[in-house]
Amino acid sequence: MSAPSIFDPPAGEPRHVLCVGAAVLDTLFRVRVLPQGQGKVLPYDMLQIAEGMASSAAYAVVRLGGKASLWGAVGRDETGDRIVRELDNAGIHVDGMLHVESARSAVSTILVDDDGERLIVPFYDPKLHHAVKKFTAADVAAFDAVLVDVRWPALAFQVLKTARAMGKPAILDGDVAPDGIIEQLAPEATHIIFSEPAAERLTGSDDVAEMARRLKRRFDHAFVCVTAGAAGSHWFNEETGKIQHCPTISIKAVDTLAAGDIFHGAFALAVAEKMVAEDAIRFSSIAAAIKCELFGGRAGAPGRADVIRRSEPLQRF
Amino acid sequence: MSAPSIFDPPAGEPRHVLCVGAAVLDTLFRVRVLPQGQGKVLPYDMLQIAEGMASSAAYAVVRLGGKASLWGAVGRDETGDRIVRELDNAGIHVDGMLHVESARSAVSTILVDDDGERLIVPFYDPKLHHAVKKFTAADVAAFDAVLVDVRWPALAFQVLKTARAMGKPAILDGDVAPDGIIEQLAPEATHIIFSEPAAERLTGSDDVAEMARRLKRRFDHAFVCVTAGAAGSHWFNEETGKIQHCPTISIKAVDTLAAGDIFHGAFALAVAEKMVAEDAIRFSSIAAAIKCELFGGRAGAPGRADVIRRSEPLQRF
- Inside any domain, residue B71: yes
b/e code B144-163 from CB counts within 10 Å (16+ = b): bbbbbbbbbbebbbbbbbbb
Q: How many CB pairs under 8 A join A and B?
A: 86
pLDDT at B312: 78
Q: What is the pLDDT of residues A164-176, one digit of tens each?
A: 999 999 999 999 9
Mean pLDDT of A277-295: 96
Q: What is the pLDDT of residues A16-38, one digit of tens each?
A: 999 999 999 999 999 999 999 88
Chain A residue numbers touching B79 (CB-CB < 8 A):
48
Quick check: ipTM above 0.90? no
For the sheet with A67-71, list strands across it: A67-71, A16-20, A145-148, A170-174, A191-195, A223-227, A233-237, A242-246
B140: nearest Cα among B113, B161, B124: B161
**Contacts with A, B 16-55, CB within 8 Å:** 27, 29, 31, 34-43, 46, 48
Cα angle: A77, vertex A81, A85; to 5 degrees: 170
Residue A315 has pLDDT above 80, yes or no: no
Residue B292 has pLDDT above 50, yes or no: yes
Distances in Å between the Cα of B286 and the Cα atoms of A207, B231, B309 are 60, 12, 10
DSSP secondary structure code for residue A249 in this structure: -
- Inside any domain, residue A9: no
CATH number at residue B128: 3.40.1190.20
Domain limits for position B221 = 16-33+43-307
- Inside any domain, residue B153: yes
pLDDT at B316: 44
Residue B314 has pLDDT above 60, yes or no: no
- Inside any domain, residue B125: yes
| 3 state SS of A182 | helix
**A48 vs chain B: nearest CA distance in angstroms?**
9
Nearest Cβ partner of B119 from A35, A48, A118? A35
Identify the band that residue A206 occupies on the pLDDT scale cut at 50, 70 and 90.
very high
A267: nearest Cα among A15, A73, A3: A15
Euclidean distance between the first and the last CA atom of chain B, given in angstroms as a whole number: 23
b/e code B23-46 from CB counts within 10 Å (16+ = b): bbbbbbbbbeebbeeeeebebeeb
Beta-carbon separation of B120 and A48 below 8 A: no
- Inside any domain, residue A201: yes
Beta-carbon separation of A46 and B82 below 8 A: no
**B220 vs chain A: nearest CA distance in angstroms?**
32
Task: Check if the beta carbon of residue A74 is closer than 8 Å to that of residue A87.
Answer: no
Task: Check if the beta carbon of residue B210 is closer than 8 Å to that of residue B203.
Answer: yes
Residue B207 has pLDDT above 70, yes or no: yes
Q: What is the pLDDT of residues B93-128, one digit of tens each?
A: 999 999 999 999 999 999 999 888 889 999 999 999
Q: Which residues pair with A244 in a beta bridge?
A: A235
Higher pLDDT, B116 or B194: B194
Residue B263 and residue B260: Cα distance in Å, rounded? 5
Mean pLDDT score of chain A, rounded to an integer?
95
Beta-carbon separation of A29 and B109 below 8 A: yes
Nearest Cβ partner of A38 from B42, B82, B118? B118
DSSP per-residue string spanning B81-131: HHHHHHHHHTT-B-TT-EEETTSPPEEEEEEE-TTS-EEEEEE--GGGGSS
- Inside any domain, residue B313: no
pLDDT at B313: 63
Residue B18 has pLDDT above 70, yes or no: yes
Mean pLDDT of A216-245: 97
DSSP secondary structure code for residue A53 in this structure: H
Task: Check if the beta carbon of residue A280 is closer than 8 Å to that of residue A272.
Answer: no
Mean pLDDT of B203-223: 97
Task: Check if the beta carbon of residue B29 is closer than 8 Å to that of residue B111.
Answer: yes
b/e code B175-207 from CB counts within 10 Å (16+ = b): bbbeeebbeebbebbbbbbbbbebbbebbebee
Nearest Cβ partner of B38 from A40, A107, A118? A118
Identify the band that residue A316 occupies on the pLDDT scale cut at 50, 70 and 90.
very low
Beta-carbon separation of B123 and A43 below 8 A: yes
Residue A26's contacts (CB-CB under 8 Å, 6 or more residues apart) are: A48, A49, A50, A51, A52, A107, A108, A109, A110, A257, A297
Residue A225 and residue A216: Cα distance in Å, rounded? 8
Higher pLDDT, A120 or A314: A120
Task: Check if the beta carbon of residue B57 is closer than 8 Å to that of residue B71.
Answer: no
Q: How many structural domains compose chain B?
A: 1
**B107 vs chain A: nearest CA distance in angstroms?**
9
Q: What is the CB-side half-sphere exposure of residue B294 using CA atoms within 13 A?
A: 14
Q: What is the pLDDT of residues A126-160, one digit of tens each?
A: 999 998 999 999 999 999 999 999 999 999 999 99
Mean pLDDT score of chain B, rounded to an integer?
95
Residue A86 and residue A84: Cα distance in Å, rounded? 6
Beta-carbon separation of A31 and B109 below 8 A: no
Amino acid at A3: A
pLDDT at A91: 98
pTM above 0.95, yes or no: no
**Would you call A2 an interface residue with chain B, using a CB distance cutoff of 8 Å?**
no
Residue B196 and residue B202: Cα distance in Å, rounded? 10
Chain B residue numbers touching A39 (CB-CB < 8 A):
119-120
Residue B168 has pLDDT above 90, yes or no: yes
Residue A81 and residue A279: Cα distance in Å, rounded? 38
Residue A4 and residue A226: Cα distance in Å, rounded? 29
- Inside any domain, residue B7: no
pLDDT at A317: 43
Q: What is the pLDDT of residues B249-262, one digit of tens each?
A: 999 988 899 999 99
- Inside any domain, residue B225: yes
Please count the residues of chain B. 317
DSSP secondary structure code for residue B36 in this structure: B
Residue B177 and residue B167: Cα distance in Å, rounded? 26
